[in-house]
């Protein structure tokens, strides 16, 4: 094992201990109260997790996407919401690291790495989700500023965070539409309003909000890359990372469901023997274990492609689709194995059952992923 591999192993061991010591003892109460895990976030700052994939040149850990995905998987096994706090933040950071100007990198990446500036991405609007080109939020140039007006919704890290990579229309009349879209680094200030926190079935504890922008001013030098019309491409590149993250979250939830079901099946007895000795339960556990490992391998494959700098929308889409469906199927299976206890809030499977469906929707629905996969399959294999 070389030094880098040893370093990676040590980081993963540290994350494992962090999850056991800091997340596991609190998750049940925090999740039930829908309470933001402020102390956990502060600990993640100390560990440098907000700089996971930010280059060491800018104060980050400089980890590979593969190691990052393993970190997200492990955190999600304990509480999926916590992994989302890192994910949205690092999509924003990745956009700056890959497309920002030298001045933007020097100013923002060190502050992102420490968590001093923490936030996410402002894409979705009430009438624009999967079809991002349909956004209506505008940014009009006015001297040295852009003046932003519009509404965003389902924005993670927007209440307790302080910076958003904001997708806007700088030329609403442009055709094709993506040529009029730009990405701004928007720090909180006058006109940047958190309208309300959204109540959710699962994915609780994390701040997911609706934002309103009313004559909100952003300095023109916060336009990522320094040129208008490149915002959609910049954020779609970041979404490859986001989909790998969501895939890793899916693996974590699938593994957690498998762990809970395996443990319970060995202690619960029916007809004089543990239910794990009944063939019906064994069939379910076998499927759950296979789904989990297949999802893990697809996720690692996509992460390695991303690390090589290859186009990986197909690989990320496959990983996201397979892993999140595995999470959903395993959560349902775990609940059924637990029987009536699985429906009780005293057991973790009830939370997994509520968390898993979001993964099939976020970072591009699984219906969209299948379309992306099919189009890439055709493009890569012309007749």
Length of the chain: 383
Please state, in angstroms and rounded to a whole number, the distance separating the CA atoms of residues 156 and 166. Answer: 12
What does the DSSP 8-state code read for residue 20? I
CATH number of 233-380: 1.20.140.10
Please state, in angstroms and rounded to a whole number, the distance separating the CA atoms of residues 3 and 5. Answer: 5
Q: For 143-168, what is the HEC assignment?
A: CCEEEEEEEEEEEECCCCCCEEEEEE
Please state, in angstroms and rounded to a whole number, the distance separating the CA atoms of residues 152 and 136. Answer: 9
pLDDT value of residue 238: 77
* Domains of the chain by residue range: 3-114, 120-228, 233-380
Q: What would the two tokens of residue 182 be?
A: 């730009």
Contact between residue 243 and residue 65 where contact means Cβ atoms under 8 Å apart:
no
pLDDT value of residue 362: 87
- Nearest residue to 203 (alpha-carbon basis) of 264, 151, 157, 251: 157
Terminal C-alpha separation, the chain: 44
The reply to whether omega before 176 is within 30° of 0 (cis) is yes
Please state, in angstroms and rounded to a whole number, the distance separating the CA atoms of residues 1 and 51. Answer: 24
pTM: 0.94
CATH number of 3-114: 1.10.540.10
DSSP-based three-state secondary structure for 187: strand
pLDDT value of residue 4: 58
- Nearest residue to 81 (alpha-carbon basis) of 41, 139, 123, 113: 41
Contact between residue 247 and residue 316 where contact means Cβ atoms under 8 Å apart:
yes
Please state, in angstroms and rounded to a whole number, the distance separating the CA atoms of residues 376 and 179. Answer: 23
pLDDT value of residue 240: 86
Q: What would the two tokens of residue 296 be?
A: 């893990």
Distances (CA, A) of 309 to 56, 304, 305, 312, 373: 18, 9, 7, 8, 19
Backbone angles phi, psi at 345, to 5 degrees: -70, -5
pLDDT value of residue 31: 97
Contact between residue 178 and residue 202 where contact means Cβ atoms under 8 Å apart:
no
pLDDT value of residue 1: 42
Residue 140 pairs in a beta bridge with 147
Mean pLDDT by 10 residues, the chain (383 residues): 74 97 97 96 97 97 96 98 94 94 98 96 90 94 98 96 97 93 97 96 96 98 97 86 95 98 96 96 98 98 94 95 98 97 94 97 92 96 95
Please state, in angstroms and rounded to a whole number, the distance separating the CA atoms of residues 252 and 321. Answer: 14
Please state, in angstroms and rounded to a whole number, the distance separating the CA atoms of residues 363 and 322. Answer: 14
pLDDT value of residue 56: 97
pLDDT value of residue 235: 87
Tell me the catalytic residues. Answer: 363
Name the architecture of domain 120-228.
Beta Barrel (2.40)
pLDDT value of residue 3: 52
Helix pair angle (348-359, 80-99), 10° resolution: 30
Q: What would the two tokens of residue 55 be?
A: 């280059």
User: Which single residue is written with the structure tokens 């933007």?
Assistant: 104
Q: What would the two tokens of residue 198 be?
A: 């959204």
């Amino acid at each position: 094992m070389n030094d880098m591999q040893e370093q990676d192993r040590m980081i993963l061991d540290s994350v494992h201990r962090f999850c056991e010591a800091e997340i596991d003892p609190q998750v049940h109460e925090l999740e039930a109260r829908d309470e933001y895990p402020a102390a956990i976030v502060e600990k993640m700052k100390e560990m440098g997790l907000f700089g996971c994939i930010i280059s060491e040149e800018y104060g980050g850990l400089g980890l590979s996407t593969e190691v990052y995905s393993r970190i997200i998987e492990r955190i999600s096994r304990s509480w999926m919401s916590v992994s989302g706090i890192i994910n949205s933040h690092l999509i924003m950071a990745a956009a700056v690291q890959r497309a920002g100007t030298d001045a933007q990198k020097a100013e923002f990446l060190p502050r992102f790495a420490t968590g001093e500036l923490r936030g996410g991405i402002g894409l979705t609007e009430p009438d624009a989700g999967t079809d991002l080109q349909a956004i209506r939020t505008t940014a009009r140039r006015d001297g040295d500023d852009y003046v932003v007006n519009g509404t965003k919704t389902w924005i993670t890290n927007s209440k307790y965070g302080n910076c958003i990579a904001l997708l806007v229309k700088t030329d609403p009349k442009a055709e094709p539409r993506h040529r009029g879209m730009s990405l701004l680094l928007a720090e909180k200030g006058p006109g940047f309003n958190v309208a309300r926190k959204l109540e959710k079935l699962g994915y609780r504890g994390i701040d997911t909000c609706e934002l309103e922008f009313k004559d909100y001013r952003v300095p023109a030098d916060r336009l990522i890359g320094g040129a208008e019309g490149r915002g959609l491409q910049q954020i779609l590149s970041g979404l490859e990372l986001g989909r790998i993250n969501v895939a890793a979250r899916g693996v974590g939830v699938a593994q957690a469901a498998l762990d809970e079901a395996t443990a319970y099946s060995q202690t619960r007895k029916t007809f004089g023997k543990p239910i794990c000795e009944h063939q019906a339960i064994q069939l379910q556990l076998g499927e759950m274990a296979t789904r989990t490992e297949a999802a893990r391998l697809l996720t690692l494959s996509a992460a390695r492609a991303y690390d090589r700098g290859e186009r990986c929308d197909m690989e990320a889409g496959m990983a996201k689709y397979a892993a999140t469906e595995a999470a959903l199927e395993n959560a349902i299976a775990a609940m059924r194995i637990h029987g009536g206890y699985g429906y009780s809030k005293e057991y973790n499977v009830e939370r997994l059952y509520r968390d898993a469906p979001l993964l099939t929707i976020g970072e591009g629905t699984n219906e969209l992923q299948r379309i992306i996969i099919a189009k890439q399959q055709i493009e890569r294999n012309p007749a």
